[in-house]
Copies of this chain bind each other. A is one copy, B any other.
Amino acid sequence: QIDSARLWGTIHETAKFGATPKGGVRRLTLGPEDKQVRDWFRERCEAAGLEVHVDALGSMFGLRKGRDMSKAPIGLGSHLDTQPTGGKYDGVLGTLAALEVVRTLNDAGIETETPICICNWTNEEGSRFAPAMMASAAYVGDFTTDDILSRKDAEGVTVAEALDSIGYRGDAPVGRQKFSGFVELHIEQGPILEAENKTIGVVDSGQGVLWYDGKITGFESHAGSTPMPLRRDALATLSEIVLAMEAIARKHGPKAVGTVGEAVIANPSRNVIPGEIAFTVDCRSADAAIMDALDRDLRAAIAEIAARRKVDVQFDLIWRKPPTHFDPKLVDAVENAAKMLGYSHRRITSGAGHDACNLNTVMPAAMVFVPCKDGISHNELEDATQADCAAGANVLMHTVLALAGV
């Protein structure tokens, strides 16, 4: 059994790095608060006897030796960055539970056959730089390191510059640290476990993700003197696109979601009809055929709206992550650990993306979910109980022990 109070203490200790007045955390990837939590994490890893190294995209790896050092370690962990108005658990629980597993094994003097390696992946959130799960995507070869290093945030700062500014551009080539498998603990970020009163979600699949960058070019003109029929209003166009996205997602019932998360009017003024808007779309499904339908229907809707409103809409797919089917053997290992520990559990699909989804494409991977209050995440009110966090960490530990061998 892990030390529940110690785990809980670390979660609340790190929540001060970027704490917001509403009780949440704002710790954008590679910003000053991210540096603070990284320094903290490195120090605690080293204090726990781990050998820490950082790769060229800033991902952090803390190695605990095993008896058979010829074997690639079992990886566990998650991420320490947050959304602009994020919570205290998303990513943090999985990373600090990994540290807690190491501390528990140390305290109990347990040695594993296979080494284990705890991870903090850079830019899981995808708010500052696109795509989400950026570093693990590069790890599995979906993008080159150079491509990712050149990505820019809204202020034009590149990943390379951001890494250098906090001193976290490591020496290790991305992908050099190999793993025999990867297990990630996370809050569910959805309402199912809580509604069904289950402690553990045995995650067997994950939704695919489509991310788009859009730009609408209408025509700026005077809000008072331009007759309605002569307008080419970029915001009215966006409004139709937002509602079309919503309707298309709803058509697929619980099997799809779609969101416009960002929309910025260029040179806005109260008495100017908006002429240019940049926007983003995020849509998802666990079913690859539905993902194709979402893409097709959305493009058709946008083409119709743009033609009718005589505006130009540029609409580019910038990221496509197919649905994830986690490794059946690892999923079973998670389920067995939950059973063995006597926690109520069910199989579940992840609505959110996770680094484990990327890693699963090159190694066996699986995930453990615990409930979060009202299913709320990506919100400062995100909450979870100490008991559920500890239960998740115990399942994580016993899954890792089963895989690494004692």
Interface segment among A103-111, A173-181, A269-277, A290-298: the answer is A269-277
Determine if B261 and A221 form an interchain contact, defined as CB atoms under 8 angstroms apart: no
- A387 within 8 A of partner (CB): no
- A228 within 8 A of partner (CB): yes
Contacts of A224 in B (CB 8 A): 189, 207, 209, 257, 282, 284, 351-353
A 204-240 to B, binary, CB cutoff 8 A, 1 in contact else 0: 0001010100000001111111111110010110111
Min CB gap A384→B, angstroms = 14
- A70 within 8 A of partner (CB): no
Determine if B284 and A280 form an interchain contact, defined as CB atoms under 8 angstroms apart: no
Interface segment among A52-60, A122-130, A158-166, A393-401: the answer is A122-130
Q: In the assembly, what is the distance between CA of A220 and CA of B257, in Å?
A: 15
Number of A interface residues at 8 Å Cβ cutoff, please give it.
71
| Contact A259 to B280, CB < 8 A, known contacts A221-B378, A222-B377, A246-B228 | no
Determine if A223 and B85 form an interchain contact, defined as CB atoms under 8 angstroms apart: no
Cross-interface CB contact of A235 among B190, B211, B222, B260, cutoff 8 Å: B260
Contacts of A222 in B (CB 8 A): 189-190, 351-352, 377-379
Contacts of A189 in B (CB 8 A): 222, 224-225
Determine if A259 and B273 form an interchain contact, defined as CB atoms under 8 angstroms apart: yes
- A191 within 8 A of partner (CB): yes
- A149 within 8 A of partner (CB): no
Determine if A261 and B257 form an interchain contact, defined as CB atoms under 8 angstroms apart: no
Determine if A271 and B378 form an interchain contact, defined as CB atoms under 8 angstroms apart: yes
Most buried by B among A228, A238, A282: A228
A 230-262 to B, binary, CB cutoff 8 A, 1 in contact else 0: 100101101110110010011000101111111
A 358-392 to B, binary, CB cutoff 8 A, 1 in contact else 0: 00000000000000000111111000000000000
| Contact A259 to B233, CB < 8 A, known contacts A125-B271, A224-B209, A351-B225 | yes
Most buried by B among A188, A238, A260: A260
Cross-interface CB contact of A223 among B191, B236, B250, B257, cutoff 8 Å: B257
Determine if A236 and B226 form an interchain contact, defined as CB atoms under 8 angstroms apart: no
Which residue of chain B has its CB nearest to the CB of A259? B223
Extra A-B contacts (20), CB below 8 Å, given A125-B269, A132-B271: A83-B271, A85-B220, A85-B275, A126-B269, A126-B271, A127-B269, A222-B351, A222-B378, A224-B257, A224-B282, A224-B284, A226-B351, A229-B250, A236-B242, A236-B260, A259-B271, A260-B274, A261-B269, A262-B269, A271-B352
Q: Can you identify 27 A-B contacts, CB atoms within 8 angstroms?
A: A84-B267, A85-B272, A125-B269, A125-B271, A188-B225, A189-B222, A191-B227, A220-B378, A221-B377, A224-B284, A225-B377, A226-B257, A226-B351, A227-B257, A228-B250, A228-B256, A228-B257, A236-B242, A239-B239, A239-B243, A240-B243, A243-B243, A261-B269, A263-B263, A264-B268, A271-B352, A273-B378
